[in-house]
Amino acid sequence: MPLDILFEDEYLVIIDKPAGLLVHRTRLAFGEEENALIQLRDQIDSWVSPVHRLDRATSGTLLFAKNSEILPLLKAQFMDRSVEKTYLTIVRGIPTEKENLIDHPLTSERSGKLQEAQTRYKVIAESEIPFNSTGRYPTSRYSFLELDLMTGRTHQIRRHLAHIRHYIIGDKKHGDNKQNIFFQKQFGLENLLLHALELKFIHPVTQEEIQLQAPLPVHFRTIMKELGWNPEQIFSTIN
């Protein structure tokens, strides 16, 4: 299926990346030909290069440059942290602090060096369901979070939420395996519940403000309803 293009002009293009699709070829996924870069290039018949990254399992807004001159200008905005990136997720448990900044350095998965990392979160909705998902309690509690990524480290949101023990549902690397198994068996969930909702930045050529959102995918909305949340009502709270 063709990729959903949220915005395109002669300089850049923003897509809604599906969960499970690689951004580009990687050594860890050697031999896999399908990725967003190749699909988008063929779809719009243009050279493209990703300006930033999304984990394979993460869905949502992904920005590409359409020529090599615009690429460093867009990357510079990410480097100086002027791009606003908003994510949505569902996690195990309910944080005591309904709004907080997670300021916790992370070790680079490439260099091994410790890097500063900050993620701001806000609890949008809470749920308690009459299922024993871990074997310890008669009910299970979950939270719907809005997150602003202040820095851009590898797996930052997933690692930060694991650090405060509010694991993202469906996270097989940094999450809670018991929760993942429960959601797979109970609701048929096969995906990570992390969505790159919004990008907001200044167009480096036109100087216009670009602010775009990617709609929540079906699997995300399905779990919201299973947890007793109305997706439209939740979205009105965010917007």
How far are the Cα atoms of 7, 147, 177, 222 from residue 238, in angstroms, in the given order? Answer: 21, 11, 29, 18
Nearest CA to 161 out of 133, 127, 123, 187 is that of: 123
Architecture of domain 4-238: 2-Layer Sandwich (3.30)
Distance CA 66, CA 175 (A): 36
pLDDT confidence of residue 209: 97
pLDDT of residue 138: 86
Can you give the pLDDT at residue 30?
A: 53
Give the least confident one: 10-14, 25-29, 164-168, 203-207. 25-29
The model's pTM: 0.93
The residue that leads in pLDDT, 111 or 177, is 177
List of residues 6+ apart from 57 with CB closer than 8 A: 19, 20, 170, 171, 172, 191, 192, 194
Give the domain ranges of the chain. 4-238
The residues annotated as belonging to the active site are 55
- The structure tokens listed for 51 are 């300006």
- The bridge status of strand 118-129 relative to strand 99-103 is antiparallel
C-alpha span between 51 and 62 (Å, rounded): 8
Averaged pLDDT score across all residues of the chain? 93
